[in-house]
Structure 1
Amino acid sequence: MAAGPRITLVRRIKASPEALFEAWTTPSLMAHWWCGAGAKHIVAQCSPRRSGNFLVSGHSAKGEAIEDWGVYTVVIPGEVLEFSWHAEPPGPSHVTMQLLPLAYTTEITLVHFELPDAETCAMQKARWEAALDALEALVDPPAA
């Protein structure tokens, strides 16, 4: 069986791996970035440990209902999160997020794989890009 489409995104953000990991695993912080800028009524829950789960629900800036949930399979604080991903759409898939400390930034590599088709892949890529933009704004806000 051939693997479905995958998304690979790499970003460098001016924040420590620990600060970024905290943003990925603290519900109050997840609610600020997970659904992208302008999202409303976001509720997040998570238990960042192996076999723990997460749930993020609310509405995107366009008013679309969002409900993402999954189960953590790998949790290495400050380094790696791997989890199953369930959303409507795209259905079940998997995500790996890795943090690599560099001199003044942290490189995030996000891979979302086992997506069902190219259309879902494109939609999910746009969602992850918006989320990572919001994550960066949260941990490294623009100077006033």
Structure 2
Amino acid sequence: MKTFRPRRKLIVNREVQFDVVMHVSLFVAVLFLAQLFAAWLFIGKIQELAGTGAFSMMSVQEFISRYKTVFLVYQLIPVLLGLVVGFWYFNRMTRRIVGPLFNIKRTVKRMADENLDSVEIHLRENDYFQDLAQDINVVLQKKPK
């Protein structure tokens, strides 16, 4: 029976994993700060109303039932905006990861299927895995004809 050997490194591919972890962390932090800002705006509005005496005859239960929807809307707006912006941003970011992998797979498969003499993998300038593509290109050029 094989024994489980844990990985020696937490980050295997620093270029890709570090960028993804940093972008996700930054996204979560910005979303959290947006929610804090929305809560701060809501509390400011409540303080204004309290200064006018709007809550003098209101019980806690009445206050909660009246303002819980407003509070939820104040919290929901940054979350929804964050989801839309996050989807767009992370879709663009992951194209730099998935695109090269798809391109490498397609090129190697085309070379195997069509038995071509020379094929080269071309990646966009900002794509990840440039070094992998160069290594595969070296192997493909050394292939016996």
Larger radius of gyration, structure 1 or 2? Answer: 2
TM superposition score normalised by structure 1: 0.28
Greater percentage in helix: 2
Highest relative contact order (Cα 8 Å, sep 6+), 1 or 2? 1
Q: TM-score, normalised by structure 2?
A: 0.28
